[in-house]
Structure 1
Amino acid sequence: MSMTSEFKEFIAKGNVLDLAVAVVIGAAFGKIVTAFVDKIIMPPIGLLIGGVDFSKWAIILKDATVNAAGEAVPAVAIGIGEFLNTLIQFLIIAAAVFVVVKAINRMQPKKVEAPAAPSEEVLLLREIRDSVKK
């Protein structure tokens, strides 16, 4: 089998196509969650805390300067607000994935395990019981 035909067979399998669809939908869902957190959740929280814009909330370690060549040197800062936004986005996505997995697990039929075969001792005891009954 040639490499090309083998690759076509691999791509044509349902699992690969399902995975591709999941990646595209996951990327779109990530953008939705980002917009939800940045535009809907964080502004009211910032207003309640005292008008803080979380996207710009940072600890400045070194202020922005201009070097000898006249080029701007950006500030060195720890972006706490961006980190909080990302953390909240992660928690929302994790909760959504948890709910989806839980729903899928509920829809799958429960597997009934066959009883285990009796041990050698039980078989021997049954044999003795049966011989005593005779």
Structure 2
Amino acid sequence: MKATIVNQEGQPLIEGKLKEKQVRWKFIKRWKTRYFTLAGNQLLFRRGKSKDELDDIPIELSKVQSVKVVAKKRRDRGLPRAFEIFTDSKTYVLKAEDEKHTEEWLQCINVAVAQAKERENREATTYL
């Protein structure tokens, strides 16, 4: 897990493995390890466990509605370090290896989402 908090443009940058919850049917839930990179306006993730398996499906940060830690009640049922990212179309449930990493990811994602929205607003006003 590498976490460098800012890149050259002052944007948060963090990368590492997170587990993504896969809900196949109602009852079968599996966690799949994926390699995530937060950079610029996107949270990229790869289907595989390594950086090189490029099958990126980016989450556009400007489309993120909210990011929050999974509520305590649900945490007791085996979701200790999980957090959710809500976009217009999908909810991602992700899990870091421990509380400290969860905090780092949440912090970085929240800052990056705010910056992406700000940037989008700036660009929108430029064209008016």
TM-score, normalised to structure 2's length? 0.27
- The higher radius of gyration belongs to 1
Larger strand share, 1 or 2: 2
TM-score, normalization by structure 1:
0.26
